[in-house]
Every structure is written in structure tokens, then in C-alpha cells.
Amino acid sequence: EGLIADRFGLSWAITSIAALTFFSGAIVAVAMRETAKG
């Protein structure tokens, strides 16, 4: 995270981390839904 912040700036680091968190959460939600469906 420090390397990203140094190279692209703090706002880009925050945006990329937020996007990563969102996508991982979305993938988990879809996986849970598929599992619940059976």
C-alpha cells in the first residue's frame, strides 16, 4: 500500500483499495448466493 501511495498518490491508493474491497465482497456475495441456491 505504501508503494502504491508513493507512485500514484494517496487518492489513487484509497480508490484502488476501495475497489479491491468492493470486488472481493461482490465475489463472496455471488458465491454465497450460488451456494445457497444449491
Q: Structural domain boundaries of the chain?
A: 2-37
Can you give the pLDDT at residue 36?
Answer: 86
Say if CB 1 and CB 13 are below 8 A apart: yes
User: What is the distance between the alpha carbons of residues 33 and 38, in angstroms, rounded to a whole number?
Assistant: 9
**Is residue 25's pLDDT more than 90?**
yes
User: What is the distance between the alpha carbons of residues 15 and 21, in angstroms, rounded to a whole number?
Assistant: 10
- 2-19 average pLDDT score: 80
**Is residue 5's pLDDT more than 70?**
no
Q: What proportions of the chain, in percent to the nearest 5, are helix, strand and coil?
A: 90, 0, 10
